[in-house]
Amino acid sequence: MNIANKSVLITGANRGIGRALLNEALRRGAKKVYAGTRSALQHPDKRVTPLTLDVTSTSQIRQAADEIKTLDVLINNAGIAIYDDLSNLEVIEQHLAVNLLGLLKVTRAFLPVLKHSKGAIINNLSLAGLAPLPVIPSYSLSKAAALNLTQSLRALLAGQGVTVHAVVLGPLDTDMNRGFNIPKVSPESAARNIFDGLEKGEEDIFPDPTSLSIAEGWRAGVSKALERQFAVFAPQAAANAG
C-alpha cells in the first residue's frame, strides 16, 4: 500500500501524532485526506477535508460515512489517556468508549468502502497494550483490548482484501504524555515510520526506537504464533454468527 494518490481518513487529526500523520500523508502525495476532529479545523492544503468526528458519537460517525464515498486508508488514531489506579469505574469506561469502542464503531462504518477499495486499516496502539503501565492501567487495558480487536479484524478481513495494521507506539512528544518524564521522540518521525511500515506491508508496525527494541521479540513470540494459529478459524466466523 502506497499513500500516493490515495484517500486517507485520520481520526484525532488536529494535534499530536494524528496531525503529524496528516502532514506526512500530504507530503507523500495523498489525493485526499479527511481530517476527523472534534473541533473546527482549518488547513491550507486543498486536499484536506475537515470532518466533524467524535468517535463516541454514533450520529457523527454515520454522517461522516455518508459523506465519504471512497476511502483507501483508515487511521484510527483518536485516543485518551488519564492517569488512574483502577479505583474509578467511570475512568475505565471512558477509555473503553474512545480507545476500544470508538475505534470499532468507526471501523465498522467505513468497512464497506474499505472492502471496495481493498484498503488498509491502521490502528494506533501502544506498548502499554502489550504490558500494562501501572500509572495508566485503564488506558493500558483499553489498548490491550484494542490490540486484540485489531488481531480479530485482521483475521476476519484477510479474505476480503482489507489489511489491518497494529501500530505499537512507544513514548512520543505530544500532549498525551506531557507529564511523564521519559525520553520521547517526535510525532513527525513516528508518522514517517508508520507510513514506511504500511508501504512495506508490515502487519505490526514499531515506529519509534523504544517500540522497535521489542519488535523482533514480538514477531518471534508466542502471542504472534498463537495469533497465526487461531487465524485459520476465521472463515468459520460468519457461519457461526449466522
Ligand X SMILES: NC(=O)c1ccc[n+]([C@@H]2O[C@H](COP(=O)([O-])OP(=O)(O)OC[C@H]3O[C@@H](n4cnc5c(N)ncnc54)[C@H](OP(=O)(O)O)[C@@H]3O)[C@@H](O)[C@H]2O)c1
> What x-and-dash track marks residues 148-167 binding ligand X by CB under 6 A?
--------------------
197 binds ligand X (CB under 6 A): no
- Contact code string over 12-51 relative to ligand X, x by CB under 6 A: x-xxxxx-------------------xx------------
Q: 204: exposed, middle or buried (C-beta count within 10 Å: 0-12, 13-18, 19+)? A: buried
Q: How buried is residue 38: exposed, middle or buried, by Cβ count under 10 Å (0-12/13-18/19+)?
A: middle
How many Cα atoms occupy the beta-carbon half-sphere of 3 within 13 Å?
29
Give, as ranges, the residues between 78 and 97 that touch ligand X (CB under 6 A): 78-81
Q: Is 34 a catalytic residue?
A: no
Q: Is 60 in the site for ligand X (CB under 6 A)?
A: no
Q: Cβ closer to ligand X: 100 or 155?
A: 100
Count CA atoms closer than 13 A to 167's CA, side-chain side: 29
Give the nearest distance from C-beta 76 to ligand X in angstroms. Answer: 8
Instruction: Say which of 34, 139, 195, 206 is annotated catalytic.
Output: 139
The yes or no reply on residue 98 touching ligand X (CB under 6 A) is yes
Q: Tell me which amino acid residue 171 is.
A: P
Mark the segment that binds ligand X (CB under 6 A) among 10-18, 67-75, 157-165, 228-236.
10-18
Q: Rounded distance, CA 57 to CA 37, Å?
A: 12
Place of cell 464503531: 105
Could you give the residue numbers annotated as active site? 139
